[in-house]
Structure 1
Amino acid sequence: MSDKKETELNYHEEENAMVQDLDDLKELGKEMEQISEKNDEDKLNQSHDSDVRSDLD
């Protein structure tokens, strides 16, 4: 009985997994890096008080 339950758990883990193999993991990493870079650019381009921003000197 425990084998059947374990098999069901593994099936659901695979079904809901974001990656299936190393290639998927690499692709996910690239996507996350692109999102991070875009977020960094968006933050940098936000308007802020110039007295607070040290990168505008």
Structure 2
Amino acid sequence: MDFGPVGIFVLVVTSACSFLLARWLSKRMREKRRERERQAREAAASRQVRRARERRARR
């Protein structure tokens, strides 16, 4: 296969766009996962706090 200057330019631009899109999507996925994990931690802490409050109320 013989690529001319235009073909090489298109290849480089397409590769750069693909790389940037993959980084952007990966960042969004990581942010969503961190948010889900943060919400799970808060929910777990809330249960612990509620149970501790119930134990104190029984005394």
TM-score by length of 2: 0.47
Rg larger for: 2
TM-score by length of 1: 0.48
